[in-house]
Chains A and B, each alone.
Chain A
Amino acid sequence: MSCPRCGTESLPDQSFCKNCGAALATAEPAQSAAAAPAAPALPQPPPVPQTPPVSLHAIPDGGLTIEELTRWLESEGYSVNLVTGESGRPHIVTKSQGSPLNIFQGDCKGERCASLELATGFSTSGKFDISQINAWNYDNRWCRAYYDDVNDPWLRMNIDLSPGGTYEALSERLGIWNRTLGRFIAQYSLK
């Protein structure tokens, strides 16, 4: 069997290339655009980390329950209020940059949810210039901005929790949210 990445010959029972570390069993040749599948295969991780593994705190398979999410937010210093909307599923309302932050759970199976959606809206009494929204989405990373049916601006961001999620990554994404929201508020003088 030869390695799809470097061509080195390997024994049939080897899973990874002895030369470059590429996966042998799962590797497939690169496809051209014309041959790209309608439902493309999921890329597999290169098997050999370039540095020793770091100690990470894994989020459980399937994601977090709302109780686990509540405890984690509180441990990070956030206030948590549980609010039940029309859907019947509770979501969390907390504060970020002095503004209310709604945290909705997504991709739920039973009590565990594999993703989150963060959302903050601003009441501007029709004073927000909606023509500015595209420039925000063009220029800024991470969050998508839009205006609602009364032309008030919103900012939203999704966070993946499972599979492969860690509390360190969740903390990083919440930090990104806070910084991006701060820029949004400052750029459009929102409060």
Chain B
Amino acid sequence: MSPIPDGGLTLEDLVAWLQVGGYSAKMVTAESGSRHILSNTQGVPFDIFTPGCMSGRCASISLVVAFSTKGKFDVSQLNEWNSDVPWCKAYYDTVNDPCLDMDISLWPGGTYESLNDQFATFNSVLGKFIAKYSLR
């Protein structure tokens, strides 16, 4: 096993992890000064947020994909998704666009093998979400 270090991963660790796996990874700084990572999978951008970091190390990550549908998405479909499909929760934002979100715990007890497995699950579920609601 490859344990994740005490306290979790830094943003730089996460960028390296993505890039070694062949993913793009761009660090983005919000107006608030907080940083997150922007990447791509299956042709759509996704964000990796790292709430609650201490001394630069982050014990968990949130993977978030938001789809722009210009108000065309039927938000009533999302309850069925959350009822039926495990791993990722779906919701709609303030302009009724659908979002998919998965949280991954990194520490304590995390390993890179588990992180990879959960990221693969995120990819799989995202693919189902895109197909089910014809999102691109």
Binding site for B on A (CB under 8 A): 4-5, 22-23, 26-34, 36, 38-47, 49-51, 53-54, 56, 58, 106, 115, 117, 130, 133-134, 137-138, 141-148, 154, 156, 158, 160, 162-173, 176
Assuming the contacts A36-B40, A138-B91, A169-B110, asked whether A42 and B118 have C-beta atoms less than 8 A apart, the reply is: no
Known: A29-B22, A169-B108. A54 touches B3 (CB 8 A): yes
The answer to whether A106 and B86 have CB atoms under 8 Å apart is yes
Contact in complex: B113, A176 (CB < 8 Å): no
Contact between A147 and B16, CB atoms less than 8 A apart? no
Q: Digitize B94-110: 1 where CB-to-A-CB distance is under 8 Å, 0 elsewhere.
A: 00000101010101111
Contact of B116 among A29, A164, A168 (CB under 8 A): A164
Complex Cα gap A167–B108 (Å): 10
Residue of B17, B79, B107 contacting most chain A CB atoms (<10 Å): B79
B109 neighbours in A (Cβ, 8 Å): 56, 166-172
Residue B112 at the A interface, CB < 8 A? yes
A-contact bits for B1-33, CB 8 A (1 contact / 0 none): 111111000100100111111111100000000
Q: Are A164 and B1 in contact (CB under 8 A)?
A: yes
Per the bound structure, the CA–CA distance linking A188 and B91 in Å amounts to 18
Residues of B within 8 A of A (CB): 1-6, 10, 13, 16-25, 40-45, 51, 60, 62, 75, 78-79, 82-83, 86-93, 99, 101, 103, 105, 107-121, 123
User: Contacts A5-B20, A31-B22 hold; do A42 and B79 have CB atoms under 8 A apart?
Assistant: no
- Report chain A residues within 8 Å CB of B41: 36, 40
The answer to whether B119 and A33 have CB atoms under 8 Å apart is: no
> Do A168 and B108 have beta carbons less than 8 Å apart?
yes
Q: A22-B16, A30-B22, A44-B20 are in contact. Are A49 and B87 (CB under 8 A)?
A: no
Are the C-beta atoms of A43 and B17 separated by less than 8 Å? yes
Assembly CA distance A2 to B35 (angstroms):
30
A46 → B minimal CB distance (Å):
5
